[in-house]
Structure 1
């Protein structure tokens, strides 16, 4: 029987009663399917329904085959090793005892002599230089993700379920995951905002507030199809609005004709031209006709209004977000940042950065790249003054704002609105609300407490506070800005940064993002 995952008539709501998935039908076969959609639409929830971690309020989930789930964070014990992660510690111990002649014939009957070779092959597929005895605690976050993915493919499940597998990975790690999935021939459901990874998919499944839609082909094919759908949706909206206007004009014309006819009837009645018995019949007929016409007009107008509403809702789902940024007027000749002969680190005799000289002039756009552990975060700490150099000097010549991965410039105890007013004290309430609305914080959404926001919402709020004021800083420093954003939000940020005329200093492993914001120079650490 072919392997498959089938979700039939699935409905699931959050504990506070918000319906996230409604009457959802989806089927996945032996394919690589990218699951996309805006943050909060239910992508991770769908994976949990498939694994059984959540139960639907109605409907059913049927899985034919085995599942392998990559969790975003897993607690590990201090003494756990790669072999423990793979679940093969005892089997490897048996092989070691066999090599030393210490295993019984009965134990040897169950020995798997291919185990070490298969372990090495799984680690190699994700580009991880580790061994069975390597402690998990010795691995970086990115290496740990790669090890967990290697453990999944080692078990050869019929379906991989991956939730943001390339988050926090350096360039080599991302490439290893992308290459592994490009060669994966079983089933996979991948929740991701990594457009390079999504371009290796066989299909894209988009979750929206209107349901789920499957698109054949990879991310690029999906985006092309969406552009056509958006153009068609705008035409449908224009047609619906024209139809509604035509119906309104027709109803108005009918009402005006009736008013004129009624007026003429009243004049004849006043002159006594019509017998009383005929007047009664005419009045009754007029009232019946008037009521029928009113009900018909009301029905037609309601249908037309509903068609307009549905067309607008479709555009809201399809329409990319946009962000506009006021100018900084940074002169092209202005020195922004200068570092001369900088050596720095955290432990004596172990510098992270050694003898680095670097300068930025005018509205340059510089990407700081390099593998995990190469000193990118240290470099940003030097630029922002959070870390002082052991040797050399660091000087900033313009105002600057830093958005780190925790968006620590926001006070978690304050609302988004109050954070904006604190960072932009010159902005009045109208300017504040208008700026926040551009970043999708409208009405009561602007009153959310910063500490309660998701990672993606937090970054959007930080960007709104920094870029939404009347005069943004001349230097904007971003540390992995796309890690917690959905793709629509990433593209909105890209659009905003393209219109930003200041200097950009960006740490990111997201190559499509760096290309989209027109990086002019790279500093490889």
Structure 2
């Protein structure tokens, strides 16, 4: 049974820029992972399916109910967990009946199954035992996201629409999302760059300007097929280039042969004795034959050039994001970072970091692990000097750079070039252009405003700004760098970082990313007793 059918659907941005066209997609009781470059229109497609936006053209048929995992709004003090779950009125009705205050309408409309369904939904998302009357504003971000999932379980729609459901969640919360989807028996469309989550999908749909392309199976099969397609594209390009050379060579041979025939004809005419009418006919035949050969050569050359251009475009899409990081010059034995019995607490508060001692030597790759609220961000702020330890010491032995998930060192209103020169004042315009070209911001691309960049472009620009200065950092501190990147950008960043010769200190819940960049050691932080609520 099909719940959603899209027929020849096209969409555009509010300013009229086309996103995709001729998109055909049918969704039944299956889980679809929706992937594609940032800006391809994935969130727009979810809005079209949900009916909150209309397509530019084409039709969308819906035969089932749809549930959307919505962003949690700013919550007032009067909002309770029951309200967040979408059952506030039904819960109040049961409460009135329980107190003996219910009227006939309450008795008639009461949903006696609600308490059991609510308890089961909360248990399924790791919030077992949480009171329905609890103020929603008291929930952590992770708890609020889990409550949003519980709301969908209670509503039990035919189709779930989830847009980056694991962003900013720790490993335990990510597992809750994956478990919910693994048990889901309806339809689901999941926009995500979380490869662990995408592995549980029934198929992957890749969105591009040309529409949607479907790959059966989860992420690993999709990645394997995309790699095979990239190899085929490179082979096609090699063949197309050989064909261009062959056609060019044969056209040159044909021109030289025609020139020899023309020269022989002129010599024959110069000897005299041949009637002019016969010479004219011979010249006309030669001219027609030459023109025909010329047109054929031009047609073959055009076809060969078009085939090469198409093959180049396919290969370019696969390699467009590839770049290399410059050398940091880090000596192998240098102590890059040392924490000695470091602790931190706000005045009058319990310690958030307590008795931390470890060091990074040479080009080590270290991950800070732990649930949300364990103090990873606080520890980074101690390392960067934004906070001062209340006990112990933090010692940096090498230049460092911090890149958070938003690359906040870049000013949105400035161009990439202007950001680079602000952060590297000794660099000339030519130096800046040369450095940015290395990170694929060539010529006019360097003049894009930072605020217009995609997540992957922004991180790439930030890397260029911090790594190509007069003193390149020998320690890169990365705080959830993949949260707002598409899969292609994540792969490019992974490839670059895996070849980086400096030290890395990384906060990330993306296990695939940590494995790809070669993390050698994990330092686990535990949540403090005062914060042991589920994240």
TM-score (norm 2): 0.93
* More deviation, 317-326/260-269: 317-326
Task: Quote how far apart the aligned CAs of 1:26 are.
Answer: 1.6
User: What SS does the aligned partner of 1:128 have?
Assistant: coil
User: 1:320: Cα distance to partner?
Assistant: 7.6
Once residues 421 and 408 of structure 2 are traced to their aligned partners in structure 1, the CA distance between those partners, rounded to angstroms, is 16
Greater mean deviation of Cα atoms: 388-397 or 192-201: 388-397
Classify the secondary structure of the residue corresponding to 1:351.
coil
Q: Judging changes above 3 Å, is the alpha-carbon distance between structure 1 residues 60 and 507 closer, same or farther for their aligned structure 2 residues?
A: same
Match of 1:344 in 2: 344
CA–CA distance in structure 2, aligned partners of residues 205 and 470 of structure 1: 44
Question: Structure 1 90/4 Cα, relative in aligned 2: closer, same or farther at 3 Å?
Answer: closer
Counterpart check, 1:101 vs 2:95: no
Distance 1:250 1:36, change over 3 A: same
Residues 435/208 of structure 1: CA separation in 2 closer, same or farther (3 Å cut)? farther
| Equivalent residue, structure 1, for 2:172 | 172
Q: Hey, what does 1:144 align to over in structure 2?
A: 144
**Offset, 1:13:** 2.2
Whether 1:287 aligns to 2:297 is: no
Farther-moved stretch of structure 1 (166-175 vs 148-157):
148-157
Shift in alpha-carbon separation, 1:72–1:308, aligned structure 2, 3 A = farther
Distance 1:290 1:4 in 2: 62
Q: Distance in 2 between matches of 1:503 and 1:489?
A: 21
In the TM superposition, what whole-angstrom CA distance separates every residue of 1:252-300 from its partner, at most 9, and x where no partner exists? 2111111111122223333325332222222222222222222222222
TM-aligned CA deviation for residue 52 of structure 1: 2.0
Contact 1:479-1:506 within 8 A present in 2 as well: yes
CA contact under 8 A between 2:324 and 2:439: conserved in structure 1?
A: no
Q: Is the 8 A contact 2:38 2:455 kept in 1?
A: no
Q: Is the 8 A contact 2:498 2:517 kept in 1?
A: yes
Instruction: Tell which deviates more after alignment, 424-433 or 218-227.
Output: 424-433
The equivalent residue for 2:127 is 128
| Structural mapping, 1:193-272, within 5 Å | 193-272=193-272
Q: Which secondary structure state, in structure 1, belongs to the residue aligned with residue 484 of structure 2? A: coil
For residues 71-124 of structure 1, give each alpha carbon's deviation from its aligned partner in whole angstroms, at most 9, with x where no partner exists. Answer: 345343342122112221121112122222222344223211221121121122
Map 1:394-473 onto structure 2 (within 5 A).
394-425=394-425, 429=429, 432-468=432-468, 472-473=472-473
State which drifts further: 69-78 or 9-18: 69-78
**C-alpha distance after superposition, 1:359-406 (max 9, x if no partner):** 221111111111111111110000000111122221111100001233
Tell me the equivalent position of 2:49: 50
**1:72–1:164 CA contact under 8 A, matched in 2:** no
Greater Cα shift, 105-114 or 511-520: 105-114
**Alpha-carbon distance in 2 for matches of 1:72, 1:430:** 44
SS of the aligned residue for 1:38 comes to: coil
Matches within 5 A, 1:352-367: 352-367=352-367
State the partner residue of 2:274. Answer: 274
Q: What are the ranges of 5 or more consecutive residues in structure 1 without an aligned counterpart?
A: none
Matching residue of 2:505: 505
Offset at residue 430 of structure 1 (A): 5.5
> Quick one: structure 1 residues 441 and 29, their matched pair in 2 at CA, closer, same or farther if it must change by over 3 Å?
farther
CA 1:43–1:213: 2 relative to 1, 3 Å: same
Question: Is the contact between residue 164 and residue 190 of structure 2 (CA under 8 Å) also seen in structure 1?
Answer: yes
Tell me, yes or no, if the aligned pair for 2:97 and 2:106 is still in contact at 8 Å: no
SS at match of 2:134: coil
Which residue number in structure 2 is paired with residue 7 of structure 1? 6
Secondary structure of 2:59 counterpart: strand
Superposed displacement of residue 414, structure 1: 1.8
**Residues 320 and 488 in structure 1, CA contact (< 8 A), matched pair in contact too:** no
Question: What is the aligned partner in structure 2 of residue 23 from structure 1?
Answer: 22
Q: Residue 285 and residue 474 in structure 1: after superposition, are their counterparts in 2 closer, same or farther (change >3 A)?
A: same
How many angstroms does 1:437 deviate by?
4.1
Question: Does 2:347 match 1:335?
Answer: no
Asked if 1 retains the 8 angstrom alpha-carbon contact of 2:456 and 2:490, the reply is no
User: Given that residues 326 and 470 in structure 1 are in contact (C-alpha distance below 8 angstroms), is that contact kept between their aligned partners in structure 2?
Assistant: no
Q: Specify the alignment match of 2:113 in structure 1.
A: 114
Q: Is 2:520 aligned against 1:520?
A: yes
The answer to whether the 8 Å contact 1:226/1:318 transfers is no
